[in-house]
Amino acid sequence: MIPTLGPNLLQTQPSVEPTLARLLPAGGQLAATVLQASTDASGIRLQLQLQRAGQLLELNTQRALAAGTAVVLSRNSAGQLQLSLTAETPARPPATPSSQPSSQPAPPATATATATATLDSLLRTSLPRQQRFGDVLNQLLQQAQPGTAAATQAARQLSPVVQSLLQIFGITPGLRDSGLAVRRNIEKGGFFTEANLGRTATQPSGTKSTAPGNTGSATTDLKAQMGQLQQLADALPPQARKQMHKLLGDLLARITSSQLNSASQNKDLPDGTSERHLALDLPVRLGERMENVELRLKRYRARRGEDPASSHWLVRLHFDLQALGPLEAELRLRDDSRMSARFWTPEPETARLIEQRLPEFARNLGRQGIELDDLGCHQGTAPRGETGIRRQLINLKT
């Protein structure tokens, strides 16, 4: 039987009723995908992306669903809503006796194929229409500026939320709190939202979680603030409302794609080796604009029998510097606080400038207790086998 949430378990926001009534008349059905789940005073709030024109929709329910879950939203003849999960993978028929039973159990090919197909489908849906966090913030700032008389009141309501996003996630190079801003982006930038919700749901009442990615108020989570913008956007004029819905949908697609791509690269091998990957956007303030910096991190845990200190963090970056040309970097920090840092640039003058700054760079790391094993700048391009950078990770104009 396909799991179904009946009318008594579903509630819609008043602001979405007109849109939902138009899209889903009595007797109709709409296919959708769960983009995120959050909690508030009214319970669990699901944000769905309808397959028809990518429309976003929020529902309050009593059951949390994981991001990426495919569902069908329907309305019965009485006008009541129902939410059904799509058909589950059929159970395997019981094995029949064999004269030569296999010594190895058959791999769960059906489940693996289903999971792979679901992942591929979600990536195909989200990749073509995503927008980077820094680019979205620039457009949100434009949306929050008063325009026509009809939009002035709505713009005033949008402005505090947009300014809150800038205050929480915007990174200003050179400021003392820039490191904290990077941490907030990692913890509250949407990558860990569903994991935090899952931990919160299983914790006893009154218990405070100390798990990574679960610090601070839930209202500072990027996806929670996007939900606020989604509600405020319903008061905008039609064209601005459509633009805002698309903007938020594209950013959610960006976050979802990063989550799926990172999860697909994670590894847990029988010898104890493991890898964890994380990709996210960092909005960096340069002048009056927010530039986007895409950060890629990898955590490697050594195999059993290896020196535990060989476990390390790996950061890979690619800059496009307007005046100095391209610059690639690879930073590797071991668990024993030993680090290697290498830079590559095809421009001789840029290589000379980097070489001049390396001693200061080493001294700054030393003051933080980090010892350098390898530090250098090379003229040319980074070997692909070493950096693994196949495309531009950072597009930063200075």
Task: Tell me how many domains the chain contains.
Answer: 2
Compute the average pLDDT of residues 232-239: 83
Quickly state the pLDDT bin for 73 (edges 50, 70, 90). Answer: confident
The answer as to whether 81 is a domain residue is: yes
The answer as to whether 189 is a domain residue is: yes
Quickly state the pLDDT bin for 94 (edges 50, 70, 90). Answer: very low
Would you say the pTM of this structure is higher than 0.85?
no
CA-CA-CA-CA torsion sign (75, 240, 188, 273): positive
Interacting residues of 105 by C-beta distance below 8 A, sequence separation 6+:
none
The proportion of the chain whose per-residue pLDDT surpasses 70, expressed as a percent, equals 69
| Residue 341 pLDDT greater than 90, yes or no | yes
> Please, what is the average pLDDT of the chain?
74
The answer as to whether 38 is a domain residue is: yes
Of 12 and 177, the structure prediction assigns the larger pLDDT to 177
Quickly state the pLDDT bin for 101 (edges 50, 70, 90). Answer: very low
**Are residues 81 and 133 both part of a single domain?**
no
Domain enclosing residue 242, as ranges: 128-200+215-265
**Are residues 77 and 141 both part of a single domain?**
no
- b vs e for 232-247, b when ≥16 Cβ sit within 10 Å of the residue's Cβ? bbbbbeeebbebbbbb
Among the candidates 85, 107, 142, a domain finishes at: 85
Of 163 and 108, the structure prediction assigns the larger pLDDT to 163
Compute the average pLDDT of residues 142-161: 71
Pick from 210-219, 318-327, 348-357: least confident: 210-219
Q: Phi-psi category of 390—alpha, beta or left, where left has phi over 0 and alpha has psi -120 to 50? A: alpha
The answer as to whether 241 is a domain residue is: yes
The answer as to whether 314 is a domain residue is: no
**Are residues 167 and 252 both part of a single domain?**
yes
| Residue 108 pLDDT greater than 70, yes or no | no
The answer as to whether 119 is a domain residue is: no
**Are residues 80 and 166 both part of a single domain?**
no
The answer as to whether 397 is a domain residue is: no
Phi, psi of 181 (to 5 degrees): -65, -40
| Residue 218 pLDDT greater than 70, yes or no | no
Q: Distance (Å, rounded) from C-alpha 119 to C-alpha 265?
A: 12
**Are residues 247 and 159 both part of a single domain?**
yes
**Are residues 168 and 240 both part of a single domain?**
yes
**Are residues 134 and 81 both part of a single domain?**
no
**Are residues 8 and 81 both part of a single domain?**
yes
Contact 83, 59 (CB under 8 A): yes
Pick from 118-122, 129-133, 265-269, 319-323: least confident: 118-122
**Are residues 242 and 185 both part of a single domain?**
yes
**Are residues 144 and 66 both part of a single domain?**
no
**Are residues 76 and 163 both part of a single domain?**
no
Question: pLDDT value at position 395?
Answer: 33
**Are residues 133 and 256 both part of a single domain?**
yes
Q: Could you give the angle at which helices 133-143 and 149-169 cross, rounded to 10 degrees?
A: 150
CATH code, domain with 73: 2.40.50.100
Question: pLDDT value at position 147?
Answer: 60
